[in-house]
């Protein structure tokens, strides 16, 4: 039984001519204990997929089953609780709260579970010990190096014993030495049975994953299992096919994701528009086939 | 709400000290102004009530017009505020005076006749005063001492002698000895034979300063002024102070009977006078306090403003907290806690500052404000409610932020 089961999930932003398809009927199953690396150019829908898997967002269409529970229709508070209990996030930009100590940052998810202060600080200390930052627990995040901050962020993701760890370009803001340490840490977590889904632009670090998924234009174009420690051939090629992230890509990605995002059209309207668009697309396809 | 929220809130507030202290200042000013105004009102009330009490609570005052509404037990229900300040309108007549004087159980009684207008002495005119015609028992009734000379006696009621208030003596005769001097009232010469000690209270009504009065025998005033010197009050004191209530209602009934059953006079005990005065003072204080309370609202808006700024500054933090599993309610509570901590801190500082201001007022002026516990409690409750009321909107705004958008901010 896969821990994540996504079936025909689409995510649309905007409406009318400005509709952007961020995810186009994506289906993927992830088994417990897998380390999935998701690759793809900016604007290919990786982040959107991560947001949906991480329950930060809801799919426009399709079904999402997380550990045997349908979660695609959950309200934001129910999603928050699922996030709290089942998912740990590691962000590219670390996202530790600058005004809290490392220890408090790591203990934060437990606070929202209602764990008592003493217990959660103990637990946080244990986890920090595991990532090798026990001696830095009372430091403020800004006093740590990038690699250390990211390890603290991983500790925060781990502290609640999540079923899935979602890492969105965890090494994107790190130098290669720090990247290595962070990746070794994630790899060790994988070995101890954690399920990790990681977005990356860097083909080199796919060597830590045992499955690599390629996305393009909101679709999964390739999905392969690879032995841990090997960079798959396609990932190497992807280095050249998909240019590494530049500022221009960044802007393109942002504009694709944000600029056309409307304030908040009603769900009904959105659905109707999406349906109309799909019908139109199907028609166009049929005429092309003919 | 989790107690941890308040700890975090306190920490956050300490970290943005300038912002927070300016915000709190709004609340502090609001609390200080409300507490100070109410305590000033209380102080003035205490002072006035003390003065009224000094006259003796068994003094009975009869005056024209219907100023109070009583329930069936004779307790005052409603009070006409006109009854507290000035002489009031409407007059009594000689028959009413006779009824009061003739009532069984009355020890002393006097009509008060009023003649407005200026008096002349030494070629100097004194226009601020007024002439009151009374019986010789007035000093006893008001429990007021004569400083120089003496009050006129029963045998002198038809003679043209006068006793003057302290202000009159100072204004008309300055450094000269007033005794034996001549005052001209409506062309008639009156010889000054006494000067009152300074009146510290206003037993005839607020705003009537008896230090500015010239007291003459009532019969002689009636003679020179006729109906121009109407009876505005009749004062009486019972033989037995405990019987004052009964005597008052007895007088009231007798006058009502003689007026053909029409209830057009008011008989008040001094203790009731107290009630009348304090009710008017309370209203006044309440009114001014309400105006001062506007500043509390302004302070509350300050809190709302700062919280809104804080929410948008900390959008990313909200995103992170939501990503690690904070529900909307938990985010809302965090920001509510901040607003509440801000306003409670402001309230505590405000209450403390009120005591300081209070002390300064006491030291530098002759006012004596009184801070009572209810005022402090109300101020505290108000400051907390301001926090809750004005913290709600920003907190809801924070809680409703979309985590994805929030995480993207500043990236």
Q: What is the pLDDT of residue A257?
A: 53
DSSP E strands: which ranges in B12-64? 60-64
Helix (H, G, I), strand (E, B) or coil at A243: coil
Q: What is the pLDDT of residue B86?
A: 67
Considering the domain architecture, whether residues B253 and B331 belong to the same structural domain is answered as no
DSSP states along B212-259: GEEEEEHHHHHHHHGGGS-EEEEEEEESSGGGHHHHHHHHHHHHHHHT
B193 phi/psi in degrees, rounded to 5: -125, 5
| Per-residue pLDDT tens over the stretch B188-224 | 888 898 998 888 777 777 678 888 888 988 888 888 8
- Kindly report the CATH number that applies to the domain delimited by A31-57+79-212+222-289: 3.40.50.300
Q: What is the pLDDT of residue A120?
A: 92
Considering the domain architecture, whether residues B20 and B77 belong to the same structural domain is answered as no
In percent, the amount of chain B with pLDDT more than 90 equals 10
Q: Per the structure, how many domains does chain B have?
A: 2
pLDDT at position B324 over 80: yes
Greatest CA separation for chain A: 69
Q: What is the pLDDT of residue B102?
A: 83
Residue for token digits 């309200």?
A: A75
Residue among B11, B322, B324 minimizing CB distance to A156: B324
Any domain includes B380: yes
Considering the domain architecture, whether residues B198 and B241 belong to the same structural domain is answered as yes
Any domain includes B61: no
Considering the domain architecture, whether residues B338 and B304 belong to the same structural domain is answered as yes
- B135 pLDDT band, cuts 50/70/90, is confident
| Per-residue pLDDT tens over the stretch A36-95 | 999 988 888 888 999 999 999 999 999 999 988 999 889 988 999 999 999 999 998 889
Do you know the residue count of chain B?
Answer: 411
Rounded to a whole number of angstroms, the CA Rg of chain A reads: 20
Considering the domain architecture, whether residues B307 and B397 belong to the same structural domain is answered as yes
Residue among A84, A96, A99 minimizing CB distance to B325: A84
Structural contact between residues B110 and B134, judged by C-beta atoms closer than 8 angstroms: yes
Q: Could you report the predicted ipTM of this complex, rounded to two decimals?
A: 0.79
pLDDT at position B100 over 80: yes
In percent, the amount of chain B with pLDDT more than 70 equals 94
CA angle B82, B85, B86 (to 5 degrees): 105
CB contact under 8 A, B324 and A97: no
Any domain includes B54: no
Considering the domain architecture, whether residues B117 and B206 belong to the same structural domain is answered as yes
The residue segments making up the domain with residue B231 are 66-263
pLDDT at position A196 over 90: yes
Residue among B15, B325, B403 minimizing CB distance to A109: B325
Mean pLDDT of all residues in B71-87:
69
Any domain includes B269: no
Greatest mean pLDDT among A163-172, A231-240, B152-161, B371-380? A163-172
Residue among B326, B408, B411 minimizing CB distance to A80: B326
Considering the domain architecture, whether residues B153 and B40 belong to the same structural domain is answered as no
Mean pLDDT of all residues in B70-78:
71
Q: What is the pLDDT of residue A275?
A: 79
pLDDT at position A154 over 80: yes
A162 touches chain B (CB under 8 A): no
| Per-residue pLDDT tens over the stretch A12-35 | 988 878 888 889 899 999 999 999
Considering the domain architecture, whether residues B201 and B230 belong to the same structural domain is answered as yes
Using a CB-CB cut-off of 8 Å, the residues of chain B touching A81 are 325, 327
pLDDT at position B274 over 80: no
Considering the domain architecture, whether residues B219 and B74 belong to the same structural domain is answered as yes
CB contact under 8 A, B325 and A83: yes
- What are the residues facing A65 on neighbouring strands? A5, A70
A113 touches chain B (CB under 8 A): yes
A140 touches chain B (CB under 8 A): no
Q: What is the pLDDT of residue B372?
A: 85
CB contact under 8 A, B327 and A95: no
- The rounded distance, in Å, linking the Cα atoms of A22 and A37 is 19
- What are the residues facing B265 on neighbouring strands? B64
The shortest C-alpha distance from A85 to chain B (Å) reads 8
Residue B321 CB coordination number (10 Å): 26
Any domain includes B273: no
The shortest C-alpha distance from B411 to chain A (Å) reads 8
Helix (H, G, I), strand (E, B) or coil at B286: helix
CB contact under 8 A, B328 and A108: no
Angstrom distances, CA of residue A71 to CA of A4, A140, A199: 10, 36, 22
Mean pLDDT of all residues in B317-333:
92
Provide the token pair at B15: 């970290």
The shortest C-alpha distance from A286 to chain B (Å) reads 37
Range with the lowest mean pLDDT among B76-90, B145-159, B344-358? B76-90
Residue among B325, B407, B408 minimizing CB distance to A80: B325
Counting Cα atoms < 13 Å in the Cβ hemisphere of B374 gives 3
Count contacts between A and B (CB, < 8 Å).
62
Sheet architecture: strand order including A164-168: A87-90, A164-168, A195-199, A35-39, A211-216, A219-225
User: Which string of b and e fits B340-355 if b means at least 16 CB within 10 Å?
Assistant: bbbbbbbbbbbbebbe
Helix (H, G, I), strand (E, B) or coil at A264: coil
Considering the domain architecture, whether residues B111 and B245 belong to the same structural domain is answered as yes
Mean pLDDT (chain B, rounded) = 84
Helix B328-364 vs helix A76-86: angle between axes, to the nearest 10 degrees? Answer: 100
Q: What is the pLDDT of residue A249?
A: 55
Q: What is the pLDDT of residue B71?
A: 72
- B89 pLDDT band, cuts 50/70/90, is low
The shortest C-alpha distance from A54 to chain B (Å) reads 8
- The rounded distance, in Å, linking the Cα atoms of A261 and A256 is 9
Range with the lowest mean pLDDT among A189-198, A275-284, B325-334? A275-284
Q: Which of B263, B287, B316 is the last residue of a domain?
A: B263
Considering the domain architecture, whether residues B117 and B200 belong to the same structural domain is answered as yes
Residue B356 CB coordination number (10 Å): 10
Burial label for B233, CB within 10 Å (0-12, 13-18, 19+), is buried
Q: What is the pLDDT of residue B129?
A: 83
Using a CB-CB cut-off of 8 Å, the residues of chain A touching B411 are 93
Q: What is the pLDDT of residue A90?
A: 93
Q: What is the pLDDT of residue A248?
A: 56
Q: What is the pLDDT of residue A242?
A: 56
Provide the token pair at A53: 């898997």
Q: Which of A54, A41, A22, A45 is nearest to A195 (CA)?
A: A54
- What are the residues facing B79 on neighbouring strands? B68
pLDDT at position A243 over 60: no
- The rounded distance, in Å, linking the Cα atoms of A108 and A101 is 10
Mean pLDDT (chain A, rounded) = 85
Any domain includes B146: yes
Provide the token pair at A183: 């990746």
Q: What is the pLDDT of residue B388?
A: 87
CB contact under 8 A, A83 and B323: yes
Q: What is the pLDDT of residue B280?
A: 80
CB contact under 8 A, A77 and B325: no
Residue for token digits 């009065």?
A: B213
Residue among B11, B324, B328 minimizing CB distance to A84: B324
No. of helices (H) and no. of strands (E), chain B: 12, 14
pTM of the model: 0.67
Which residues in chain A (60-99) have CB-CB distances under 8 A to chain B? 76-77, 80-81, 83-85, 89, 91, 93, 95-97, 99
pLDDT at position A268 over 70: no
Q: Which of B263, B287, B322 is the last residue of a domain?
A: B263
Q: What is the pLDDT of residue A263?
A: 55
Using a CB-CB cut-off of 8 Å, the residues of chain A touching B14 are none
The shortest C-alpha distance from A80 to chain B (Å) reads 5
> Where are the domains positioned within chain A?
31-57+79-212+222-289
- DSSP class of residue B346 equals H
pLDDT at position A252 over 70: no
Q: Which of B263, B298, B333 is the last residue of a domain?
A: B263
- The rounded distance, in Å, linking the Cα atoms of B134 and B269 is 19
Q: Which of B188, B141, B149 is nearest to B165 (CA)?
A: B149
Higher pLDDT: A124 or B411? It is: A124
Provide the token pair at A232: 């798959």
Which residues are CB-contacts of B289 (< 8 A; sequence separation ≥ 6)? B34, B37, B38, B41
| Per-residue pLDDT tens over the stretch B289-315 | 888 888 888 888 888 888 898 899 889
CB contact under 8 A, B326 and A77: no
**Sign of the C-alpha dihedral computed for residues A183, A188, A193 and A194 taken in this order:** negative
Any domain includes B56: no
CB contact under 8 A, A99 and B12: yes
Structural contact between residues A109 and A156, judged by C-beta atoms closer than 8 angstroms: yes
Any domain includes B207: yes
């Amino acid at each position: 039984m896969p821990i994540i089961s996504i079936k025909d999930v689409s995510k649309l932003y905007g409406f009318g001519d400005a509709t952007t398809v961020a995810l186009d009927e994506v289906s993927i199953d992830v088994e417990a204990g897998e380390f999935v690396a998701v690759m793809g150019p900016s604007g290919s829908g990786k982040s959107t997929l991560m947001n949906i898997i991480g329950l930060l967002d809801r799919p426009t269409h399709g079904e999402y089953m997380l550990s045997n529970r349908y979660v695609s229709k959950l309200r934001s508070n129910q999603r928050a609780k699922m996030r709290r209990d089942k998912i740990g996030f590691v962000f590219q930009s670390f996202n530790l709260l600058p005004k809290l100590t490392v220890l408090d940052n790591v203990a934060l998810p437990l606070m929202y579970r209602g764990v008592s202060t003493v217990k959660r600080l103990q637990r946080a200390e244990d986890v920090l010990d595991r990532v090798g930052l026990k001696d830095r627990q009372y430091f403020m995040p800004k006093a740590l190096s990038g690699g250390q901050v990211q390890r603290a962020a991983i500790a925060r993701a781990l502290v609640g014993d999540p079923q899935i760890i979602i890492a969105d370009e965890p090494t994107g803001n790190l130098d290669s030495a720090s990247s290595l340490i962070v990746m070794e840490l994630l790899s060790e977590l994988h070995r101890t049975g954690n399920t990790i889904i990681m977005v990356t632009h860097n083909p080199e670090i796919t060597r830590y994953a045992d499955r690599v998924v390629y996305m393009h234009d909101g679709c999964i174009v390739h999905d392969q299992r690879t032995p841990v420690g090997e960079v798959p051939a396609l990932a190497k090629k992807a280095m050249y096919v998909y240019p590494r992230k530049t500022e221009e890509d960044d802007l393109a990605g942002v504009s694709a994701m944000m600029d056309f995002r409307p304030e908040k059209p009603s769900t009904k309207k959105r659905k109707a528009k999406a349906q109309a668009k799909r019908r139109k697309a199907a028609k166009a396809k049929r005429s092309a086939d003919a | 709400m989790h107690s941890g929220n308040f700890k975090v809130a306190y920490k956050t507030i300490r970290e943005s000290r300038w912002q927070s202290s300016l915000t709190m200042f709004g609340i502090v000013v609001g609390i200080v102004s409300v507490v100070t105004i109410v305590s000033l009102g209380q102080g003035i009330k205490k002072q006035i009530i003390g003065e009224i009490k000094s006259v003796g609570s068994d003094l009975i005052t009869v005056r024209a017009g219907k100023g109070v509404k009583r329930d069936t037990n004779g307790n005052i229900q409603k009070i006409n505020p006109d009854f507290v300040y000035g002489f009031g309108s409407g007059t009594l007549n000689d028959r009413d005076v006779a009824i009061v004087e003739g009532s069984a159980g009355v020890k002393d009684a006097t009509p008060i006749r009023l003649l407005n207008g200026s008096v002349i002495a030494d070629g100097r005119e004194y226009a601020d005063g007024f002439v009151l015609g009374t019986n010789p028992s007035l000093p006893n009734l008001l429990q007021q001492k004569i400083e120089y000379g003496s009050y006129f006696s029963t045998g002198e009621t038809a003679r043209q002698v006068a006793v003057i208030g302290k202000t009159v003596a100072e204004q008309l005769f300055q450094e000269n000895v007033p005794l034996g001097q001549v005052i001209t009232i409506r062309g008639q010469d009156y010889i000054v034979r006494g000067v009152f000690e300074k009146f510290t209270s206003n037993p005839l009504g607020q705003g009537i300063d008896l230090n500015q009065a010239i007291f003459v025998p009532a019969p002689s005033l009636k003679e020179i002024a006729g109906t121009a010197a109407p009876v505005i009050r009749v004062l009486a004191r019972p033989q037995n102070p405990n019987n004052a209530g009964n005597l008052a209602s007895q007088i009231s009934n007798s006058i009502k009977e003689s007026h053909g059953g029409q209830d057009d006079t008011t008989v008040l005990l001094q203790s009731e006078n107290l009630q009348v005065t304090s009710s008017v003072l309370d209203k006044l204080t309440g009114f001014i306090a309400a105006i001062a309370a506007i500043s509390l609202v302004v302070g509350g808006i300050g809190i709302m403003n700062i919280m809104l700024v804080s929410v948008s500054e900390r959008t990313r933090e909200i995103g992170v907290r939501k990503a690690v599993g904070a529900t909307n309610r938990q985010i809302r509570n965090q920001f509510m806690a901040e607003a509440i901590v801000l306003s409670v801190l402001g309230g505590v500082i405000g209450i403390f500052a009120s005591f300081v201001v209070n002390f300064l007022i006491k030291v530098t002026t002759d006012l004596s404000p009184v801070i009572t516990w209810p005022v402090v409690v109300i101020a505290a409750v108000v400051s907390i409610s301001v926090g809750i009321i004005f913290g709600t909107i920003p907190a809801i705004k924070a809680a409703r932020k979309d985590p994805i958008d929030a995480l993207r901010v500043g990236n």
